[in-house]
Amino acid sequence: MSGHNRWSTIKHRKAIADAKKSKGWTKLLKEVTVAARGGSDPGGNPRLRAAIEKARAANIPNDTIERAVKKGSGELTADQLEELTYQAYGPGGVAIVIELATDNRNRTASELRKLLEKQNAKIDTSGSVMHKFKRRGQLIFDAAKHSEDAITEAALDLGAEDVRAEGDTIVVLTEAQDFHQIKEAFEKRGLVPESGEVALVPEQTVTVGEHDAEVITRLLEALDDHDDVLNVYANFEVAGGAAQTS
Protein backbone atom coordinates (compact mmCIF):
# COMPACT_ATOMS: atom_id res chain seq x y z
CA MET A 1 0.00 0.00 0.00
CA SER A 2 1.14 3.53 -0.75
CA GLY A 3 0.02 6.93 0.45
CA HIS A 4 -1.05 10.22 -1.13
CA ASN A 5 0.01 10.89 -4.72
CA ARG A 6 -0.57 14.53 -5.55
CA TRP A 7 0.20 14.66 -9.28
CA SER A 8 -1.82 11.53 -9.98
CA THR A 9 -4.82 13.07 -8.21
CA ILE A 10 -4.37 16.45 -9.93
CA LYS A 11 -4.05 14.81 -13.34
CA HIS A 12 -7.11 12.65 -12.73
CA ARG A 13 -9.28 15.65 -11.78
CA LYS A 14 -7.79 17.71 -14.61
CA ALA A 15 -8.60 15.00 -17.14
CA ILE A 16 -12.23 14.96 -16.01
CA ALA A 17 -12.45 18.76 -16.30
CA ASP A 18 -10.63 18.86 -19.66
CA ALA A 19 -12.87 16.15 -21.11
CA LYS A 20 -15.81 18.53 -20.77
CA LYS A 21 -14.08 21.10 -22.99
CA SER A 22 -13.55 20.99 -26.74
CA LYS A 23 -9.79 20.92 -26.15
CA GLY A 24 -10.15 17.77 -24.07
CA TRP A 25 -12.22 16.14 -26.80
CA THR A 26 -9.57 17.01 -29.37
CA LYS A 27 -6.88 15.22 -27.37
CA LEU A 28 -9.02 12.15 -26.77
CA LEU A 29 -9.87 11.91 -30.47
CA LYS A 30 -6.22 12.33 -31.41
CA GLU A 31 -5.43 9.40 -29.11
CA VAL A 32 -8.09 7.32 -30.90
CA THR A 33 -6.67 8.26 -34.30
CA VAL A 34 -3.08 7.32 -33.51
CA ALA A 35 -4.17 4.14 -31.70
CA ALA A 36 -6.17 3.03 -34.76
CA ARG A 37 -2.94 2.80 -36.74
CA GLY A 38 -2.39 -0.50 -34.97
CA GLY A 39 -5.69 -1.85 -36.36
CA SER A 40 -9.26 -0.57 -36.48
CA ASP A 41 -10.73 -3.48 -34.49
CA PRO A 42 -10.76 -2.64 -30.75
CA GLY A 43 -11.00 -6.35 -29.98
CA GLY A 44 -7.55 -6.94 -31.42
CA ASN A 45 -6.05 -3.57 -30.51
CA PRO A 46 -5.99 -2.98 -26.73
CA ARG A 47 -4.65 0.55 -27.11
CA LEU A 48 -7.53 1.51 -29.39
CA ARG A 49 -10.04 -0.13 -27.08
CA ALA A 50 -8.74 1.92 -24.14
CA ALA A 51 -8.76 5.14 -26.20
CA ILE A 52 -12.35 4.54 -27.31
CA GLU A 53 -13.46 3.84 -23.74
CA LYS A 54 -11.91 7.13 -22.57
CA ALA A 55 -13.59 9.01 -25.42
CA ARG A 56 -16.98 7.48 -24.61
CA ALA A 57 -16.52 8.28 -20.92
CA ALA A 58 -16.15 11.94 -21.99
CA ASN A 59 -19.50 11.65 -23.82
CA ILE A 60 -17.98 12.03 -27.28
CA PRO A 61 -20.58 10.84 -29.84
CA ASN A 62 -19.99 7.41 -31.34
CA ASP A 63 -20.00 8.71 -34.91
CA THR A 64 -17.27 11.21 -34.01
CA ILE A 65 -15.20 8.43 -32.47
CA GLU A 66 -15.77 6.25 -35.53
CA ARG A 67 -14.48 9.02 -37.82
CA ALA A 68 -11.34 9.25 -35.71
CA VAL A 69 -10.84 5.49 -36.03
CA LYS A 70 -11.23 5.68 -39.82
CA LYS A 71 -8.74 8.54 -40.01
CA GLY A 72 -6.20 6.46 -38.13
CA SER A 73 -6.80 3.32 -40.18
CA GLY A 74 -6.56 5.27 -43.45
CA GLU A 75 -10.20 4.88 -44.48
CA LEU A 76 -10.55 8.68 -44.30
CA THR A 77 -7.92 11.28 -45.10
CA ALA A 78 -6.41 13.10 -42.14
CA ASP A 79 -3.48 15.26 -41.09
CA GLN A 80 -0.27 13.29 -40.86
CA LEU A 81 0.40 12.89 -37.15
CA GLU A 82 3.81 11.80 -35.92
CA GLU A 83 4.02 10.08 -32.56
CA LEU A 84 6.99 11.13 -30.45
CA THR A 85 8.22 10.46 -26.94
CA TYR A 86 10.38 13.03 -25.16
CA GLN A 87 12.42 12.19 -22.09
CA ALA A 88 13.46 14.93 -19.68
CA TYR A 89 14.86 15.62 -16.23
CA GLY A 90 13.32 18.21 -13.95
CA PRO A 91 14.44 19.82 -10.67
CA GLY A 92 15.83 17.33 -8.17
CA GLY A 93 16.59 14.80 -10.92
CA VAL A 94 12.91 13.96 -11.48
CA ALA A 95 12.43 11.84 -14.61
CA ILE A 96 9.66 12.99 -16.97
CA VAL A 97 8.20 11.21 -20.00
CA ILE A 98 6.13 13.17 -22.52
CA GLU A 99 4.08 11.27 -25.10
CA LEU A 100 2.70 13.34 -27.97
CA ALA A 101 1.34 13.36 -31.50
CA THR A 102 2.15 16.30 -33.78
CA ASP A 103 1.87 17.40 -37.40
CA ASN A 104 4.92 19.67 -36.98
CA ARG A 105 7.86 18.12 -35.13
CA ASN A 106 10.04 21.24 -35.18
CA ARG A 107 7.35 23.54 -33.80
CA THR A 108 6.43 21.13 -31.04
CA ALA A 109 10.06 20.50 -30.09
CA SER A 110 10.72 24.23 -29.79
CA GLU A 111 7.62 24.82 -27.66
CA LEU A 112 8.37 21.90 -25.33
CA ARG A 113 11.98 22.99 -24.82
CA LYS A 114 10.76 26.45 -23.79
CA LEU A 115 8.28 24.95 -21.33
CA LEU A 116 10.97 22.74 -19.82
CA GLU A 117 13.62 25.45 -19.60
CA LYS A 118 11.19 27.81 -17.89
CA GLN A 119 10.96 25.37 -14.96
CA ASN A 120 14.67 24.43 -14.91
CA ALA A 121 14.14 21.12 -16.74
CA LYS A 122 15.81 19.85 -19.89
CA ILE A 123 15.49 17.20 -22.58
CA ASP A 124 17.48 14.02 -21.94
CA THR A 125 18.92 12.26 -25.00
CA SER A 126 20.60 9.36 -23.18
CA GLY A 127 17.47 7.22 -23.02
CA SER A 128 17.91 6.66 -19.29
CA VAL A 129 14.52 8.09 -18.32
CA MET A 130 12.42 5.28 -19.83
CA HIS A 131 14.26 2.68 -17.76
CA LYS A 132 12.72 4.19 -14.64
CA PHE A 133 9.15 3.36 -15.74
CA LYS A 134 7.07 0.31 -16.60
CA ARG A 135 3.83 0.28 -18.57
CA ARG A 136 0.98 -0.91 -16.35
CA GLY A 137 -2.78 -0.75 -16.18
CA GLN A 138 -4.33 1.71 -13.73
CA LEU A 139 -7.89 1.69 -12.41
CA ILE A 140 -8.87 4.80 -10.43
CA PHE A 141 -11.73 4.54 -7.91
CA ASP A 142 -13.43 7.29 -5.92
CA ALA A 143 -12.62 6.60 -2.26
CA ALA A 144 -15.91 8.26 -1.26
CA LYS A 145 -17.87 5.63 -3.20
CA HIS A 146 -15.83 2.50 -2.55
CA SER A 147 -14.09 1.24 0.55
CA GLU A 148 -10.39 0.55 0.35
CA ASP A 149 -10.96 -2.87 1.91
CA ALA A 150 -13.47 -3.86 -0.79
CA ILE A 151 -11.15 -2.69 -3.58
CA THR A 152 -8.15 -4.46 -2.02
CA GLU A 153 -10.07 -7.71 -1.55
CA ALA A 154 -11.24 -7.68 -5.16
CA ALA A 155 -7.77 -6.76 -6.41
CA LEU A 156 -6.25 -9.74 -4.61
CA ASP A 157 -8.94 -12.10 -5.94
CA LEU A 158 -8.54 -10.84 -9.52
CA GLY A 159 -4.75 -10.92 -9.68
CA ALA A 160 -4.01 -7.19 -9.68
CA GLU A 161 -0.45 -6.11 -8.85
CA ASP A 162 -0.99 -3.45 -6.21
CA VAL A 163 -3.50 -1.10 -4.56
CA ARG A 164 -2.52 2.45 -3.64
CA ALA A 165 -4.46 4.99 -1.59
CA GLU A 166 -3.90 8.41 -3.15
CA GLY A 167 -5.82 11.11 -1.34
CA ASP A 168 -9.49 10.79 -2.27
CA THR A 169 -8.82 8.09 -4.87
CA ILE A 170 -7.81 4.44 -4.77
CA VAL A 171 -5.57 3.22 -7.59
CA VAL A 172 -5.34 -0.43 -8.62
CA LEU A 173 -2.31 -1.43 -10.70
CA THR A 174 -2.34 -4.37 -13.12
CA GLU A 175 -0.05 -5.89 -15.70
CA ALA A 176 -0.66 -4.03 -18.96
CA GLN A 177 -1.96 -7.12 -20.77
CA ASP A 178 -4.41 -7.89 -17.93
CA PHE A 179 -5.91 -4.39 -17.74
CA HIS A 180 -9.16 -4.89 -19.66
CA GLN A 181 -9.87 -8.32 -18.16
CA ILE A 182 -9.42 -7.06 -14.59
CA LYS A 183 -11.36 -3.85 -15.29
CA GLU A 184 -14.34 -5.87 -16.57
CA ALA A 185 -14.12 -8.21 -13.57
CA PHE A 186 -14.25 -5.25 -11.17
CA GLU A 187 -17.28 -3.86 -12.98
CA LYS A 188 -19.08 -7.21 -12.77
CA ARG A 189 -18.66 -6.99 -9.01
CA GLY A 190 -20.29 -3.56 -9.02
CA LEU A 191 -16.95 -1.81 -8.45
CA VAL A 192 -16.90 0.65 -11.34
CA PRO A 193 -13.76 2.82 -11.64
CA GLU A 194 -13.99 6.52 -12.39
CA SER A 195 -11.36 6.05 -15.05
CA GLY A 196 -8.76 3.59 -16.24
CA GLU A 197 -5.84 3.43 -18.61
CA VAL A 198 -2.58 1.75 -19.43
CA ALA A 199 0.10 4.19 -18.29
CA LEU A 200 3.80 4.47 -17.43
CA VAL A 201 4.28 3.87 -13.70
CA PRO A 202 7.68 4.61 -12.10
CA GLU A 203 9.85 1.69 -11.05
CA GLN A 204 12.36 4.07 -9.46
CA THR A 205 11.41 7.28 -7.67
CA VAL A 206 13.21 10.32 -6.27
CA THR A 207 12.12 12.30 -3.22
CA VAL A 208 11.84 16.08 -3.50
CA GLY A 209 10.95 18.86 -1.09
CA GLU A 210 7.70 20.80 -1.15
CA HIS A 211 9.13 23.68 -3.22
CA ASP A 212 10.51 21.44 -5.98
CA ALA A 213 7.26 19.45 -5.92
CA GLU A 214 5.28 22.63 -6.63
CA VAL A 215 7.64 23.62 -9.46
CA ILE A 216 7.45 20.16 -11.02
CA THR A 217 3.67 20.01 -10.69
CA ARG A 218 3.35 23.37 -12.47
CA LEU A 219 5.59 22.06 -15.24
CA LEU A 220 3.58 18.84 -15.60
CA GLU A 221 0.33 20.79 -15.78
CA ALA A 222 1.79 23.12 -18.44
CA LEU A 223 2.99 20.16 -20.49
CA ASP A 224 -0.36 18.41 -20.10
CA ASP A 225 -2.09 21.56 -21.40
CA HIS A 226 -0.06 21.58 -24.62
CA ASP A 227 -2.25 20.72 -27.62
CA ASP A 228 0.11 18.02 -28.93
CA VAL A 229 0.80 16.27 -25.61
CA LEU A 230 -1.19 13.09 -25.01
CA ASN A 231 0.33 11.91 -21.72
CA VAL A 232 2.86 13.13 -19.14
CA TYR A 233 4.50 10.95 -16.48
CA ALA A 234 6.95 11.71 -13.67
CA ASN A 235 8.68 9.66 -10.98
CA PHE A 236 8.81 11.93 -7.93
CA GLU A 237 7.47 11.61 -4.43
CA VAL A 238 7.16 14.44 -1.95
CA ALA A 239 9.14 14.15 1.29
CA GLY A 240 6.77 12.47 3.71
CA GLY A 241 4.42 11.46 0.84
CA ALA A 242 4.32 8.84 -1.90
CA ALA A 243 5.38 8.32 -5.50
CA GLN A 244 3.85 10.25 -8.37
CA THR A 245 2.61 7.48 -10.64
CA SER A 246 1.26 9.40 -13.60
Distance, in Å, from the CA atom of 210 to the CA atom of 6, rounded to the nearest integer, reads 11
What is the tens place of the pLDDT at every residue in 167-204?
A: 788 999 999 999 999 999 999 999 999 888 898 988 88
pLDDT over 80 (residue 6): no
Does residue 48 form part of some domain? yes
pLDDT score for 187? 96
Does residue 22 form part of some domain? yes
Find the helix or strand (DSSP H, E) in which 201 lies. Answer: strand 195-202
Does residue 182 form part of some domain? no
pLDDT score for 239? 74
pLDDT over 80 (residue 21): no
Q: How confident is the model at residue 35 (pLDDT cuts 50, 70, 90)?
A: very high
Q: How confident is the model at residue 25 (pLDDT cuts 50, 70, 90)?
A: confident
pLDDT score for 13? 61
Q: If we measure between CA atoms, which residue out of 177, 184, 185 comes closest to residue 136?
A: 177
pLDDT over 90 (residue 243): no
pLDDT score for 202? 87
pLDDT score for 57? 84
Please answer whether residues 96 and 133 qualify as being in contact, where contact means their C-beta atoms are separated by less than 8 angstroms. no
How would you classify the pairing of strands 82-89 and 122-123? antiparallel
Q: How confident is the model at residue 4 (pLDDT cuts 50, 70, 90)?
A: very low
Q: How confident is the model at residue 3 (pLDDT cuts 50, 70, 90)?
A: very low
Show Cβ contacts of residue 226 under 8 Å, excluding neighbours closer than 6 positions: 100, 108, 111, 112, 115
Choice among 18-22, 45-49, 91-95, 125-129 with the minimum mean pLDDT: 18-22
**Mean pLDDT, residues 53-71:** 92
What is the total count of domains within the chain? 1
Residue range of the domain that includes 25: 6-73
Max alpha carbon distance in the chain (Å)? 52
pLDDT score for 12? 58
pLDDT score for 18? 61
Please answer whether residues 7 and 169 qualify as being in contact, where contact means their C-beta atoms are separated by less than 8 angstroms. no
Q: To the nearest whole percent, how much of the chain has pLDDT over 90?
A: 60
Does residue 174 form part of some domain? no
Does residue 23 form part of some domain? yes
Does residue 166 form part of some domain? no
Amino acid letter at 55?
Answer: A
What is the tens place of the pLDDT at every residue in 66-119?
A: 999 999 998 888 778 899 999 999 998 999 999 999 999 999 999 999 999 998
The tally of CA atoms less than 13 A away on the side-chain side of residue 27 is: 22
pLDDT over 80 (residue 24): no
Entry pTM: 0.84
Does residue 46 form part of some domain? yes
pLDDT score for 169? 87
pLDDT over 80 (residue 20): no
Please answer whether residues 69 and 32 qualify as being in contact, where contact means their C-beta atoms are separated by less than 8 angstroms. yes
Domain CATH code at residue 43:
1.10.10.200
